[in-house]
Structure 1
Amino acid sequence: MNANGQSAVFGRRKEPHTVIIARGDEIRHFTVRPWLIACFGSAIAAVIIGYLLATSYLVFRDDLIGATTARQARMQQAYEDRISALRAQVDRITSRQLLDQQLMETKVGELLQRQTQLSQRHGRLGPILERAEAIEPAAVETQAPAPAVTPGDRSKPEDHAALIDGKAAPQLAMLTSFSGADAQPFSRWSTRADLPPDASSADRADKLFVAINQSLRAIESEQLQRVTKLADTTYENADAIKEALQAAGLPVDKDFGKNESDVGGPLVPIDSALLFDTKVKELDEALDELDRLRKEARRLPLANPAPGRAVTSPFGVRADPLLGTAALHSGMDFRIPLGSAARVTAPGVVTKAGWNGGYGRMVEVDHGQGYTTRYAHLGRISVAVGQTLKAGDVIGQTGSSGRSTGPHLHYEVRHDGEAIDPLRFLRVGKKVEKYL
């Protein structure tokens, strides 16, 4: 070891560096040791490295901050886009619900309007059908048409009845507050077989509206068919009465009838409401005509004065029962037991009631329009002159008074004083009996 602190390089001694600083008379010297040089170099190297590192940090920091800011901006933009998309979806759903609600309210309004129309029709049909029942019970089966259920209609009969009599308004009104939670009331109108499993409430509501519309259309159609059929039947019955009266030469309005051949004009379609009103008016007119014809027919002596009794002498020329010579028999004789009730064959007013020569005890009844009937050979008279009678009223009891060979009823029909064969009236009465 070298005592003076000198180092050997390659086996040779090396003196430390000495720095001499002279300033005027002052002289200073420093000995520069190797370790000091190493420390000084290390310090300079550290400063340089630190500067480089600081410079690198400052250079890359802006890039890192920019990248982070851009990433955050992208995340925020994506979040805002997602929020906007969800908001738009909510708006679309809300708009669709509003449209569905408005559509449902419109449909409910239409159904309520049609239900009201059906109720009004029912109100109009009621009096007419009651009148038709009074005039012709066989032609009217029911006062309100039964609803027809179509194959696609899953409604219950009581629902149709409610629609007819005006009780369907609460059932239809509940549709105005329809929501997803209220879909249960529609389960009876549509099944899973009809709609897919994921069918919405609006789809079920549409199915319900279609079913109700079909039911209402079926009811309207059947109402119209019933009215049309009833009008046709009424016209047919009136025609039958008219033809029977005309065939017998009895008075009848010859202008009556709905079948005119000399007609024409442009085709102008009409809606169901106007068609229904037209058919109802036609039915009303037909009932008026039928009622008028029936009243006219009922005023005529068409009934049999002794139903079920045998005719012993018809109208016409015969051998007089007392003299045996040819004579005109002006009426018909019915074999009837002594003391049986004699009834008038049509409404009228008694013009004669008492003894009348060969007629014996006789009652004559005026039926209007020049028609009279006579009931002779009575044993007892129970009416007086001027008395008003209805068809079937008892006018007395049968007997054998006057020129008679035994108990019987002599029945005559006269027009303007001239005798007419009563058989002609009886035949007409037999034909029109079911219409009267």
Structure 2
Amino acid sequence: MSEVREPRQFGRRENRVVITTNGTVREYRVSANILILSAVLFCTFMTGYIGATAYLAFREDLVAGTLIRQARMQHEYEDRIAALRSRVDRITSRQLLDQQAVEAKVAALMRQQEMLTGRNGALDGLIEKARKQGLEVPQTQKPEQKAEIESVTTGSIGASGTRRPTIVALADAGSFLRGSTFAGQSGTAIGLGQDMSRKLAAAQLPTGNAAGNPAITTQHMFEDVREQIGAVGMRQTASLKALQTAARQRMEQLAAVYQKLKVPLPADMTANTGGPFVAASGMAFEDLAENVALSLDTLARLKTKAMKLPVANPLPGAKITSRFGNRLDPFNRRSAFHAGIDFRAARGTPVKATGSGRVIHAGRKGGYGLMVEIDHGNGITTRYAHLSRITVKKGATVKPGERIGKVGSTGRSTGPHLHYEVRRHKKPANPSRFLKAGREIATL
């Protein structure tokens, strides 16, 4: 094959291809564009061929590198997923522990509230018992008044420096009243309020949606509830102590009445106490409630026994015409001693016993005329003279206010009236002191 070029013509260029085969000559004319296209195609083919050959030669290395990269990425993702799973498990465990801790705290607070509810029932029972005793139920005092309540002493010393008998309940030694119990546990519920109920309910919810630091928010809720429960408990204790103080003061007043009348306190109301001195400390609510109940029981028994003393008025509303002491005798107009007091009343007016006791005389007795004499114990007797009629018999047992006769003018008398005497160990005593004591006891 040879290339034959013809003489160049001006402004024109041709490319020819001559192929000779066995003496045969063939000539082809090829344009420049075709040649360029052919060269491009050849280069493209060669590039693809060389690239394919290189790929086939290095394919295993490329595949291995790709697999290694994929394995590395997979391990990284698996490590990250494991770390996230571990973190989720820790968070879940922490939330579970926090939730259990919150539930335990809520349960503890609920138990405290139930305990306060039971205490409130006991307190209601004691308040009702105090009201039946005629005590003015004290207002619930603030915790700051605790020191003032505790400053009340259990014993008392008179102005003359002599120690008066101490009532057992005043010294909190009321165990002699066996079987005494305080009120049951059926009182009304302690009102922590709807706000506290909402806080307790909120404390049991997940704390993740709480504003700020959830742990601090929940802690503040519990502290607030604890403070309110503590305040309720302190008010209950303060109420008990106020009740105890009121009962003690009332018993001291009754004891003072006994002292004024020079009558010893009932034997079962006193006690001989002693022991080493130990500074006072806070008492449990149940012990304090039992002491208050014993004090109220002792107060009731003391008042009942006090009312059995001859302290009532034998003729309520009647005018006193002659008092105890020296006076002019109405018959001989000479100075004489009047051993009792006279009540003016219409003939037939009922005369009542001034205290409980046993009738030791019912009939005529000298200048007394028809007379009834009653023994009240402790060496105290009362006489009701100048009666027109006697309605009791000797040996009978009478109660305060029971009718024993009717007003008359028998014996040494100038007109219808009641001559009333109080005698202590057969010696005359001023009945006015007993009447005054009766008025004081009626107000207690």
TM-score in terms of structure 1 length:
0.69
Task: Kindly state the Cα deviation for residue 302 of structure 1 after the two structures are TM-superposed.
Answer: 1.5
Pairing partner for 1:106 from 81, 104, 108: 104
Q: Distance in 2 between matches of 1:109 and 1:133?
A: 36
**Aligned sequence identity (%):** 38
Matched residues in 2 for 1:232 and 1:6: separation? 143
Aligned partner of 1:321 in structure 2 is: 330
Secondary structure class of the residue paired with 2:362: strand
Pair 314,232 (structure 1): closer, same or farther in 2 beyond 3 Å: same
Match runs of 1:286-365 below 5 Å: 286-365=295-374
Separation in 2, partners of 1:300, 1:255: 16
User: How much has 1:177 moved relative to structure 2?
Assistant: 12
CA–CA distance in structure 1, aligned partners of residues 83 and 245 of structure 2: 67
Asked if residue 223 in structure 1 is aligned to residue 223 in structure 2, the reply is no
1:362-401 correspondence to structure 2 within 5 Å: 362-401=371-410
Q: Distance in 2 between matches of 1:68 and 1:393?
A: 120
Consecutive unaligned residues of structure 2, counting only runs of 5 or more, are 9-17, 29-38, 144-186
Contact 1:360 1:378 in 2 (8 A): yes
Q: For 1:334, what is the secondary structure of its paired residue? A: strand
Helix, strand or coil for the counterpart of 2:135? helix
Going from structure 1 to structure 2, the CA distance change for 1:362 and 1:256 (only over 3 Å counts) comes to: closer
**Aligned mate of 2:415, from 402, 406, 416:** 406
Quick check: 84-93 or 215-224, which moved more?
A: 84-93
Q: How does 1:178-193 map to 2 (within 5 A)?
A: 179=205
Is 1:140 aligned to 2:149, yes or no? Answer: no
- 3-state SS in 1 of match to 2:230: helix
How high is the TM-score relative to the length of structure 2? 0.68
CA apart distance, 1:228: 0.3
Q: State how far apart, in whole Å, the 1-side matches of 2:121 and 2:44 are.
A: 112
Measured in 2, the distance between the counterparts of 1:46 and 1:217 equals 94
Q: Which amino acid in the other structure matches residue 107 of structure 2?
A: G
1:236 aligns to 2:245 (yes or no): no
Distance in 2 of aligned mates of 1:329 and 1:45: 162
The DSSP-based 3-state class of the residue aligned with 1:428 is helix
Question: Secondary structure of the equivalent of 2:90?
Answer: helix
Q: For the residues of structure 2 that align with 1:242 and 1:345, how far apart are their CA atoms? A: 20
Letter in 1 for 2:433: R
> How much does 1:412 deviate?
0.4
Aligned length: 375
Corresponding position of 2:189: 163
Structure 1, unaligned runs of 5 or more: 19-28, 36-41, 149-160, 184-194
Shift of 1:332: 0.5
Equivalent residue, structure 1, for 2:148:
none
- Structure-2 residue corresponding to 1:157: none
CA distance in 2 between counterparts of 1:434 and 1:5 reads: 157
Could you tell me how far 1:231 is from its partner in structure 2?
0.7
Q: Report the aligned-residue RMSD.
A: 4.7
Q: Residue 252 of structure 1 aligns with which residue?
A: 265
- Is it true that 1:115 corresponds to 2:113 in the alignment? yes
Distance 2:242 2:290 in 1: 13
Distance in 2 between residues matched to 1:249 and 1:146, nearest whole Å: 37
**Residues 380-424 of structure 1, C-alpha deviations (whole Å, 9 max, x = no match):** 222222222211112122121211111211110012221111122
Q: Say whether the 8 Å CA contact 2:318–2:345 is kept in structure 1.
A: yes
AA of the residue aligned to 1:321: P
How far apart are residue 335 of structure 1 and its match?
1.7
State whether residues 362 and 370 of structure 2, in contact with CA within 8 Å, keep that contact through their aligned partners in structure 1: yes
- The residue type equivalent to 1:217 in the other structure is G
SS in 2 for 1:405: coil
Partner deviation per Cα, 1:203-243 (whole Å, 9 max, x = no partner): 88766655543443233222211110111111111111212
Give the letter aligned to residue 441 of structure 2. Answer: V
CA contact (8 A) 1:381 1:396 kept: yes
| Alpha-carbon separation, structure 2, partners of 1:204 and 1:162 | 31
Greater CA drift, 310-319 or 300-309: 300-309
Query: Does the CA contact (< 8 Å) of 2:203 and 2:218 recur in 1?
Result: no
SS in 1 for 2:109: helix
With over 3 angstroms needed to count, the CA separation of the structure-2 counterparts of 1:391 and 1:263, relative to structure 1, is same
| Partner SS, residue 139 of structure 1 | coil
Q: Distance in 1 between matches of 2:406 and 2:246?
A: 41
CA drift of 1:372 comes to 1.0
Secondary structure of the corresponding residue to residue 229 of structure 1: helix
Equivalent AA in structure 1 for residue 88 of structure 2: V
